Structure 1
Amino acid sequence: MALLPVFALGGPLSAALAADAPSSTGVTATSSDTFLSSLGVNTHIDQGYNPYAYVEPLRYLGVRNIRDSHRHLTGHLMLHAQTGVMVDLLGIDVSELTAAARILARAGALLAIEGPNEPNNFPITYKGRQGGGTSLKWLPAWTPDWLVDLLPSGVSWLPVAELQRDLYSAVKNDPELSRYPVFHVSEGGAETDNVGLQFLTIPAGAETLLAEGTGFADYANAHNYVSGVRAGYVDNQAWQAADPVLDGRWDGLYGEYGRTWKRHFPGYSNAQLLTLPRVTTETGWDAASPEEERTQGIVLVNTYLAQFKRGWRYTFIYQLGEGEGGGGNQGLFHPDWTPKLAATYIHNLTSILADNAPVERPRQLNYTIANAPPTVHDLLLQKSNGTFELIVWGEQVSGHSAITVDLGEPRPKVRIYDVTAGTTPIQVLTAVNSVPLTLSDHALVLEIE
């Protein structure tokens, strides 16, 4: 798969944001290949789990990216050779991480380079100084920075910021790595002193500990778990988790880059957040019993769709295998590697949309959806053979909604797929200019010739 270039406010991100923009002639599609290239999952090769056990599950899922740490590169290289997956490589040692990234880049297996993972939960040591952690949670938000600076070592996030700064500089000044994107620190919203991690590049007047102009990353990085920080399943669960400006029960973009969730340091405005290049490197849903598997499956498919529709370039589900890496019951596969319903539904989605050639100039489709409640969403894709794939999904916890998709003009054939039912159409219509649908909590795909 060809590497997609990085643009501050353009490229694939802008294409995704513009995918539903109406014009005088219709809605502009996004390449199906671009959407498929956004799908990822977390693996645990670095923690000693057997990468060969991942081969068939990854082939079955059809996702194109994995996220893992930088040790045990033979496993990453093998998975790329066997399944084609690209690797988001993360770590906390700048020299080791960039050296490993070069090896993956030479093999065509590198997707991106990522900085420290959740330093609030896993403090780091950089140049002999500890950074991160949550030891300042007892301080009020208005505590002045000069007082924070006087506190015992290990409470500041300055070492975290300096590590991320140096990683970004090392990548962008490396002839082999400079074209690859750098993902930001995850959970930077937990910073206890205003080191500036709420920015990709610190702007003028930010009054942060590091100087204005300091660059950290090409993409903001959130762990906006669709399950949220409080228990419960509500309408628009995935849609709200993907909202870039929502300050709610989801640990979203706003709390990391708008106004940090721990000490409320100001970052980007809501208008800036809407176009901020961003990725989700962890999201997931727990399913501890067979009864919960269906909910996990539909929510995670909705998550992939909502994230892409709302401008997230890559989304990684946590995690591939049940019980690995302390992930509870969030795995897509059981411990014996049989698929849970989440894996089955994702497989159905990627199989229906399967396409390996990007569409350079996607066309427009003149469609509208009548009677759509706020829980109904849509995403228009186009395959390289010209076929439109119109995904319409509901996020309604109970009940159903009747809608009508008006296609603007008669279409010779429309195939309707249900991602919970399989990879063959549940209905085939001919010579129709509108399609009535009944939506509840999951996705239907209209394949339009």
Structure 2
Amino acid sequence: MRLHRRVLVAALALPLLHSRDGPVGAEQLSRVTTGDGRILSARKFLDGLGVNAHVSWPGHYPYSQTGKVIAALDYLGVRKLRDYINSSTLPVFERLAASGVRLNLLLNPKVGLDNYLGWARSLARNHPGSVAALEGPNEVDKWPVTFGRLEGFAAAVATQRALYAGAKSDPVLAKAPVYNLTISGISRSKSAALGDLSAHADYANVHPYYRAGQQSWGHSLRDTRYTLKNYLASARWTAPGRPVVLTETGSTTAVGSAIGVSEEIQARQILNSLMAAAAHQVAATYIYELVDSHDAGPQDVESHYGLYRYDWTPKPAAMALHNLTRILGRGRGARAPRASPAPEYMLTGMPAAGRSLLFRLDDGTYAIVLWAEPDLWNEDASVPIAAPTVTAHIAFSAVQPSVLVYDPLVSDRPLRSLGPTRRLGVPVSDHPLIVQVSRAPASGGAYPGAVTAPPAS
């Protein structure tokens, strides 16, 4: 990720404050921030997005509907999928790869390492570029591993070592990144038992979950150990010095369960979690999961992690992710135009834990993303918590010919289209809003209407 330095306007002689992980408090009108000075590539951010799936469960509805899996990924604007691979589902993976899906192949030690590497090699040969990553065993504290005569953590370590050695010695697979094994949650003792695996993984790996309406600042108001920052730190306990990937993250819509939220709150959480991951320079983020994988009742936690419902109708999170990838993906894949200077601006009036990022899009425009992370869910009553709306103000150092304001919860089209603009207010509440800045002039007015999700078929 290339780093750039923005020249700040003279008004930035005020002290610069940058929000850290922490619950949102009252509005601070004196707050001034311009982010942390980095300009992120929208293409790299979008290319790092993926989803989890259970295509590896033979004949299991709804993942048995391969055409709908492909259509859903197309609609989301996501081309990476994480799943186990086995002999019975290899033809499905071939079809996915042929459609342009890139696969993070999760190793189930029970299938045998040689078989796993052979299937991965076949996919890589038949569909160059289709193997996005090779990943070590999943949550080894919950799913014990055996390797030869070894069991438990010793077997998990031996498996990770053998995976890395086998992949890097294979001329077809050598360039595929190898992700480290994972444990559930955060545990120093379990990480210490696994030891330093940085020599056997290209990326550290961890699974942060945002449950019961909490955000990247904590798993729960009652237990604030589980911040995204702490999750990322824990990933490096077993792979120090390595960049981090999140191969599982998400929230369940099993309302009434101890950790479930409404579909509308899930959408906000997922958008916020993706922005928080980008702010922490996470290399790849895989949402758990594509579609509800079970139908065991409204309060069954495992039945409701999907971006799509069990019948393949999209939840608000699917529509919001579609909008986000469309907005930030303007010109995606096209030859990038000559870079224009980044906009110089001052941002004031953000909430106490409001955050901002600056992206450069492939079409040469820039997108300022503003969001806040309040507590979204009353865990005791299982109802949403209304988030306060704070008007943040953006002051540019020079008039910008075209400014568009998007809300990915609503549409992939601009809600406001402004002509020459020097200052504007943006209502920040509990999810990202996107201010796109371009040198090209735009007509005034607004674009009506919201996105209508097509069926995943």
Q: TM-score range by the shorter chain?
A: 0.7 to 0.9
SS for the counterpart of 2:368 is strand
Deviations 1:290-321 (A, max 9, x none): 98111000110111111122111111111111
Q: Give 5+ residue unaligned stretches, structure 1.
A: 1-11, 132-156, 202-214, 261-266
Instruction: Tell me what 2:233 maps to.
Output: 254
TM-score by length of structure 1 reads 0.76
CA distance in 1, matches of 2:289, 2:264: 16
Counterparts in 2 of 1:198 and 1:392: CA distance versus 1, 3 Å: farther
* Aligned mate of 1:77, from 68, 71, 94: 94
Deviations 1:65-87 (A, max 9, x none): 110112222212212333x2211
TM-score by length of structure 2 reads 0.74
SS for the counterpart of 1:306 is helix
* Aligned mate of 2:74, from 39, 55, 59: 59
Say whether the 8 Å CA contact 2:405–2:416 is kept in structure 1.
yes
CA distance in 1, matches of 2:389, 2:180: 40
Instruction: Tell me what 1:140 maps to.
Output: none
One-letter identity of the residue aligned with 2:388 = G
CA distance in 1, matches of 2:203, 2:175: 13
Instruction: Tell me what 1:436 maps to.
Output: 425
SS for the counterpart of 2:422 is strand
CA distance in 2, matches of 1:239, 1:358: 38
Instruction: Tell me what 1:406 maps to.
Output: 395
Instruction: Tell me what 1:382 maps to.
Output: 360
Q: CA deviation at 1:35?
A: 0.9
Structure-to-structure mapping, 1:56-205, within 5 angstroms: 56-71=71-86, 72-82=89-99, 84-91=100-107, 92=109, 93-106=112-125, 107=127, 108-131=129-152, 157-187=153-183, 197-201=194-198
CA distance in 2, matches of 1:427, 1:89: 42
Say whether the 8 Å CA contact 1:283–1:316 is kept in structure 2.
yes
Counterpart check, 1:352 vs 2:327: yes
SS for the counterpart of 2:400 is strand
CA distance in 1, matches of 2:414, 2:292: 31
One-letter identity of the residue aligned with 1:61 = L
SS for the counterpart of 2:262 is helix
Q: CA deviation at 1:64?
A: 2.0
One-letter identity of the residue aligned with 1:254 = A
One-letter identity of the residue aligned with 2:114 = S
Counterpart check, 1:223 vs 2:207: yes
Instruction: Tell me what 1:210 maps to.
Output: none
Deviations 1:246-276 (A, max 9, x none): 9436671333434x8xxxxxx85xxx6xxx4
Q: CA deviation at 1:195?
A: 6.7
4+ long deviations beyond 6 Å: 191-196
One-letter identity of the residue aligned with 2:154 = L
Moved more, 339-348 or 303-312: 303-312
Say whether the 8 Å CA contact 2:104–2:134 is kept in structure 1.
yes
Q: Give 5+ residue unaligned stretches, structure 2.
A: 10-33, 296-300, 376-386, 439-457
SS for the counterpart of 1:448 is strand
CA distance in 2, matches of 1:219, 1:39: 15
Q: CA deviation at 1:113?
A: 0.2
Deviations 1:78-131 (A, max 9, x none): 12333x221100112321221122122221211000010111111111113322
CA distance in 2, matches of 1:55, 1:194: 36
SS for the counterpart of 1:446 is strand
One-letter identity of the residue aligned with 1:67 = R
Instruction: Tell me what 1:233 maps to.
Output: 213
SS for the counterpart of 1:80 is helix
Moved more, 51-60 or 248-257: 248-257
CA distance in 1, matches of 2:190, 2:402: 59
Say whether the 8 Å CA contact 2:213–2:269 is kept in structure 1.
no
Instruction: Tell me what 1:144 maps to.
Output: none
One-letter identity of the residue aligned with 2:254 = A
SS for the counterpart of 2:164 is helix
* Aligned mate of 1:295, from 265, 271, 288: 265
CA distance in 2, matches of 1:194, 1:29: 33
Say whether the 8 Å CA contact 2:338–2:364 is kept in structure 1.
no
One-letter identity of the residue aligned with 2:47 = S
One-letter identity of the residue aligned with 2:97 = H
Counterparts in 2 of 1:239 and 1:101: CA distance versus 1, 3 Å: farther
Counterpart check, 1:278 vs 2:244: yes
SS for the counterpart of 2:208 is coil
Q: CA deviation at 1:190?
A: 5.5
Q: CA deviation at 1:407?
A: 2.3
CA distance in 1, matches of 2:193, 2:124: 30
One-letter identity of the residue aligned with 2:286 = F
Say whether the 8 Å CA contact 1:392–1:445 is kept in structure 2.
yes
Q: CA deviation at 1:388?
A: 1.1
Say whether the 8 Å CA contact 2:345–2:394 is kept in structure 1.
yes
Say whether the 8 Å CA contact 1:318–1:327 is kept in structure 2.
no
One-letter identity of the residue aligned with 1:277 = P
* Aligned mate of 2:278, from 308, 318, 331: 308
Instruction: Tell me what 1:204 maps to.
Output: none
One-letter identity of the residue aligned with 1:387 = T
Q: CA deviation at 1:365?
A: 2.8
CA distance in 1, matches of 2:404, 2:227: 37
SS for the counterpart of 1:295 is helix
Q: CA deviation at 1:193?
A: 7.0
